[in-house]
Amino acid sequence: MKESFVHQIQKRLTENSKLFLSDGIERLLNQDNGNEDYINPDLLSLTCTSFQISIELALKSLALERAGLKSILNKKYENHSLDELEDLFKNNNIKTSEFESVKNFVKSKGYITDLARGDFKVIEQFQIYRNRIVHFTYEFEEIDLYDMKYDLIYYLIQIIFKILLSNQHQDVKPSEFLAYSLKNGLHSQLTHYPPYIEAMERVSKENTDSVFKCIVCNNRTFSKFEEYCYCCNFITEDFKTIDCVHCKETKSVIYDNLNIELNKNSARGLCLNCDTDGMIYQCPVCEFAYDNEIEFEKYCTEGNCVNN
């Protein structure tokens, strides 16, 4: 019973964090075109507020999950029993600690190992910025109105995302998380939003040596070694790749071999590195594949497998 009560609070904190995150993203996507112009100050203020609430709830959810309910409550509740806390909760009379206290607690415990010291500094700066917006009339410089929409996306990917996932799910990538966590259609919209694309280009280059153009979203965010697009979440499990004879890049030509035998063992292929296409032949016997518009004299042909 008690575990169920605490788990209920933790789940609600997480879901509400995602709710405010979706709210900020949806507002941003629907009211800003993402091009190289300035963002509306009112839109910036509201989006910043939604993101800040999201991170506050995410940190409290994480602290509760790792250290128990009292880790996110005011000290006046230290001597309360769980039964008493449950009664207070049901009557809407329970109060959580201030954001600063919970943030410092999570930081001191090292609950999020992939958040660097500099990331916590970004959180603190964002908190100050948000407070100025809410409590005072903030005078924006024009450069702020341009840079901040890019900073918001960075904050989403590099900060809020990592806190929501915590240490237990660090193998999940940003785009994968957003695809399954946001309201319907929001992630797809993000893949066409220039600040998000730019951010994912940086993230993909930071995490993998070879980055190609994705055949789904057309952004240069596809990791050759992970076979995964950081921007749109495309994976190549239903496709095969071979080396490109034009640019000499390894495993860069992608083709669909799912029903290739129905088309005389041939399919169009596209190099994700140099954007050159060709006709790929895959031998039905040894399954070796090559561009038969260029290399047809070297390898297997229909009815003749050179490796058999």
Q: By three-state DSSP, how is residue 269 classified? A: strand
How confident is the model at residue 3, as a pLDDT? 57
The SS3 of residue 95 is coil
pTM (2 d.p.)? 0.83
Q: What is the pLDDT along the chain (308 residues), one digit of tens a residue?
A: 455 888 888 889 999 999 999 999 999 999 988 777 788 878 888 888 899 899 999 999 999 999 999 999 988 888 888 888 888 888 888 888 998 899 889 888 888 877 777 788 888 877 777 777 766 666 777 777 778 888 888 888 888 888 887 755 557 777 888 888 887 789 999 999 999 999 999 889 988 888 999 999 999 999 999 899 999 999 888 899 999 999 999 999 999 988 898 899 999 999 999 999 999 999 999 999 999 888 877 789 888 998 87
For residue range 83-98, what is the model confidence (pLDDT) as tens digits?
Answer: 888 888 888 888 889 9
d(CA 248, CA 265): 23
Report how far residue 167's alpha carbon sits from residue 119's, in angstroms, rounded to the nearest whole number: 16
State the DSSP string of 193-244.
-HHHHHHHHHHHHHH-S-EE--TTT-SS-EETTTTEETTT--B-TT-EEE--
Residues in the chain: 308
